[in-house]
Every structure is written in structure tokens, then in C-alpha cells.
Chain A
């Protein structure tokens, strides 16, 4: 009897140690997150005002905002996501529904996974060589979007394939048993059934690219003026933050923090919105 109690006691001690360790690490992780959030909030909130959203990048010392950068980021991300979703969903669908088990399918999947972890600066360099030095001739928003798209495609592809593979085989069989072609079944049944998953794929792709800076430095470069021309360089929040944070000017630094806060807030908002939509659809 006493041996059992001793063992039980030892077990409970080990249990307590383990639980404490888990708790501590959780605190550390959350603490780091809280610290980042706190710095963003305290340092950035000062710069949030009407001018931020209505005026473009100022010369040091004068009034200004981040309108050009915000607009630029929106254009770059939107265009990039359009490319990425179209290519990614179609590629993922091909892998899941058609050629996934063939030799070619295995090769494609492998290359996709390689691209998934490719350093973004390499992608930027590639697009620089392709679109900046050659096709267009100079830095452009288009090049920036393409670079971001290349970064997002592997995620969208992978997630799409995974989500489509989760759809029960019987669903496809049921559609085809009525006489529909495979393509019809995929479009009208499988995609619809996987809709929330596909939305997740898009969100994950967006999350990947929303803060990317390095590739943009080689492709869209940056623009101190407001511009929506695709074939011209364009500003973006990450590149502007980069430029301002390294500068010596106080007001530029304040704008940089405000921009950082904006990025964090918008990514958070989009994630929350995405989850809300998913929950809404599933209930």
C-alpha cells in the first residue's frame, strides 16, 4: 500500500512540473506577442490621424500620410491574390481530381513544396530579371504583384489539394452516377462543398504575402507619389516602413510605426473576418 502512494506521489510531482513548464512557455510566447503588440500600439497610435489616410508620403518635416503606400499595398496584394487564387486553385484541383497520382503529379507536387519554402528574396530576384530588366524594362507594380503571386501560389495549391482530397469520394461518384462529366461535378459539387476550405486557402495565401518586403524592393521598388499605374513603380507599406524606419527623421519614423500598426491591424482584421465567414457558412 505504501509503495503505491509513493508512486502516485511521484507521478503527481512530475505532472506538476510538466504543467508548470507548459504554462511558463505559453506565458513566454504570449508575452513576446504582447510585447510586440504593445510596442506597435504605443509607438504607432500617435501617428494615426486623418492625414495618414488622405495624404501621400511627405518630404521630411512636412505634413503627410501613407495614402500612396496603403493604396499601393492594396493594389499589389489584390492583383497578386487574383493571380495566385486562379493558378493555385486550378493547380490544386488538377492535383486532387486528375493527375495527382501520375508521375507528373508527383513531380508537380514536389516542385510546389520546394517553391513553398523558397526564400522570397530569390523570387524577387527572379522576377527582377524577368520582368524588370527585360519585359517591362523598369520597376513596376505588375512585377511586384507577380513576385507576390509566385510566393502565394504554392500555399493556395497545397491547401486546395488538401481540402479537395477531404471531400468524400461518394460525393463525386454521386454526381457522376447521374451522368455528369467530371469537370461539371468538380465545378458544381466539389468546389461548392469545399467552399470554406477554398476561402481558407485564399486567406492563407494572403497571410503569406501581406507583410513581404524583400521581393518588392527589386520589383515594385517604391514611389513617393500616389500612383495606380501598373507599369510604374508603386509604393507599398512594407517598403515605405523600411525606408522610413532607417531614416534619421522623427516624423518619418512615426509614420513608419503607424504603418506597422496598420499592417498588423489589417492582417488581424482579415483573419477575424475570414473566420467569421467560415463559421457563418458552417452553422
Chain B
């Protein structure tokens, strides 16, 4: 049986060892995703434990980035992309707008449980932040980069804003390196620093969850190490979901790991078990480098 045999994947075996239900801050349930007519996520479950790091791994095209991008609905920038299912953030269903509920009912029947959503997109994105693969500093000063997000929600100026900026930069382990050049452009920083600037920018609005999409793939080993160190420090205060193609990074950072393949969540569980004794053959094949 070839591992890429999609017929076999239809009847795939899965194993989800979720963290305790009352510790979850974010949960995707039975999530489908469509790119136009093409379906790219199939009934995905993702339990995210509060204030821990959850990693998503899998081969290229498995849907891990797609899954991440449903969590803050950033995919909606592009017409024709759609998610059907439930994404529960602290008791509210992020996907439950009118259209979403209609799609859910169409798929699962009218009796399906629906949690109404009172959150607008801006509020969602204030609570679920995102850092991208390529560092994206805004074309403005370091200070303004950090303040940008804050200014969207609050009227804060002067010393109060200075404090917020400093706190965010400290949390991202960048303060010492930039404290004397806050007025300089963010574009003048090195790649690793730019990425930490993006982390600080995301942290400035105090989100509950921070999503990171392969944040270190464009960085050299030392910058990667600094970024990982930063993420380790954040655990306990922020929930982190990280997509990575680097198995060792997932093994180092995450408390929970999920393996995805062809748009499905194959195995999910505590990281140590995951990498020392995975439950399913597919997982073990991927993790030991026996894939395809």
C-alpha cells in the first residue's frame, strides 16, 4: 500500500489524544476547507491547550498552513476560499456568521449544534494574532510598527504607549537590541530581528493566541534559536500554535504536536510520546524519514 494512495487515506486511521477539555482555549471541530471547488481540509479536529505550544507538522501540501489560517479567518482576504465547521474560541464559534451557519446546517443537518458568534473580525484578530513566514515589518519606525496594532483599538499616547511598546519588545526579546533606535525604520533590522519585531507587534495587542506560520524558515540558526527562546519564554502567558516543517523544532518547542497528511489530522498528542513512540504507522514513517 503506497502511502500516497488517496484511496487508502479515505479510510484513514487517526489517533487524537486531546488535552483536558476545560484547558482548551481554541478548538477546531470537524473542519472542512474549500479552495474554490477543491476541498483541502477534511474533517479536521484541533484541540489547542491554553498557554501551551501546539505544533502542526506534515509534508508539503498537507494543509497545516491552511488550518492555521482558518483560526483567524485571514483566508477571507481571498474570494472563493471557505471554511465549514466549528472553531470555538472561549465558548464562541468563530465561523458562526450567517453564511457559516448555513453551510454547517447544509453539511451536518439542521439538528447540528450551533454556538452563535458575537465576535466581529477585528475582535477575533485582536484575540488571535499571527506571525508570517517571511518577516513583514511595516514601512515605518520600529516604534510605529509596534504601536500600529494598539492604535487600531485604543487612543493611547505618550508615556502610556511608550510602556506598551517597551513591554512588547521585551517579551519578544528585542528591547535591548533596539531601545536606542526606536525611531529608525523597521526595515533596517536584520532578518531575525525583523521577525522578532513581528512577534512583538503581534504581542502588543495582548492576544490570547499567537499563530506562527513557519516563523523561522527564513532565518539563520542563531536567529532561529533566539526566536525559539522567545517562544519558550512566552509559554504560560500566551497560547501558541506553530506550523513547522522542522521536526526537531516541533520536538523542542511544543507540548502537543499534530501530524497532518492530505488535509487530514492523522495523529495528535503529547510531543514526547509523539516523537518517541508514535501510535500510527503514517506518523512514524513521517517522523523517521521513511515517507514516500
Which residues of B have CB within 8 Å of A193? 138-139
Contacts of A172 in B (CB 8 A): 77
Chain B residues closer than 8 Å to A175, beta-carbon distance:
138, 148
Main secondary structure of the interface of A (DSSP, over half): helix
Residues of B120-138 whose CB lies within 8 A of A: 121-126, 129-130, 132-134, 136, 138
* B280 in the interface (beta carbon within 8 A): no
Q: Are B152 and A189 in contact (CB under 8 A)?
A: no
Among B15-23, B48-56, B83-91, B198-206, which stretch is in contact with chain A? B198-206
- Please encode chain B, from 102 to 126, with 1 for each CB lying within 8 Å of some chain A CB and 0 for all others: 0000000000000000000111111
Q: CB within 8 A of A170: which of B129, B132, B149, B153? A: B132
- Checking A173, A180, A192 against B152 with a beta-carbon cut-off of 8 angstroms, the contacting residue is A180
Give the residues in chain A near B121, CB-CB below 8 Å: 179
Q: Within 8 Å CB of B136, what residues of A?
A: 168, 170-171, 173-174
Q: Which of A171, A173, A195 contacts B74 (CB 8 A)?
A: A173
Contact A179/B77 with A170-B134, A174-B136, A195-B139 known, Cβ cut-off 8 Å: no
Bound CA–CA A30/B63 (angstroms): 56
A-B contact pairs, 7 of them (CB 8 A): A168-B136, A174-B132, A174-B138, A177-B130, A178-B129, A179-B122, A195-B139
A184-206 to B contact mask, C-beta < 8 Å, 1/0: 10001100110100000000000
Q: Which of B77, B148, B149 contacts A173 (CB 8 A)?
A: B77
Contacts of B271 in A (CB 8 A): none
**Could you say which residues of chain A place their CB within 8 Å of the CB of B77?**
172-173, 176, 182
B139 with A178: CB separation less than 8 A: no
Which chain A positions have C-beta within 8 A of B205?
178-179
Contact A177 B125 (CB under 8 A): yes
Whether the pair A173, B138 counts as a contact (CB closer than 8 A) is no
Q: A174-B198, A178-B202 are in contact. Are A189 and B138 (CB under 8 A)?
A: yes
CA distance A247 to B205 in the complex (A): 72
Contacts A177-B132, A188-B138 known; 11 new A-B pairs at CB < 8 A: A171-B136, A177-B72, A177-B74, A178-B125, A180-B122, A180-B148, A180-B152, A181-B122, A192-B138, A193-B139, A195-B139
Q: Could you say which of A173, A178, A193 has the most chain B C-beta atoms within 10 Å of its C-beta? A: A178
Closest to B201 in A: A178
Q: Enumerate chain B residues within 8 angstroms of A180, measured Cβ to Cβ.
A: 122, 148, 152
Contacts of A184 in B (CB 8 A): 152
Cross-chain contact A170 with B133 (CB below 8 angstroms): yes
Return chain A residues, CB-CB under 8 Å to B122. Answer: 179-181
Distance of A106 Cα from B198 Cα, bound (Å): 35
Chain B residues with Cβ below 8 Å from A192 are 138-140
Chain A residues with CB below 8 A from B132, complex form: 170, 173-174, 177
Residues of A contacting B74 in the complex (Cβ-Cβ under 8 angstroms): 173, 176-177
A178 touching B134 by the CB < 8 A rule?
Answer: no
Contact bitstring B179-219, A, C-beta under 8 A = 1, else 0: 00000000000000000001001100100000000000000
In angstroms, Cα B131 to Cα A174, docked, is 7
Q: Which chain B residues lie closer than 8 Å to A188 at the CB level?
A: 138, 148
Give complex CA distance A162, B52 in Å: 43
Picked from A171, A176, A182, the residue with its CB within 8 Å of the CB of B125 is: A176
User: What separation, in Å, do the CA atoms of A168 and B125 have in the docked complex?
Assistant: 20
| Given A192-B139, A195-B139, also A178-B148 (CB < 8 A) | yes
Q: How far is the CA of A266 from the CA of B133 in the complex (A)?
A: 46
For the complex, give the distance between the alpha carbons of A168 and B74 in Å: 15
How far is it, in angstroms, between the C-alpha of A182 and the C-alpha of B148 when the chains are bound? 14
User: Whole-angstrom distance between the alpha carbons of A208 and B198 in the complex?
Assistant: 41
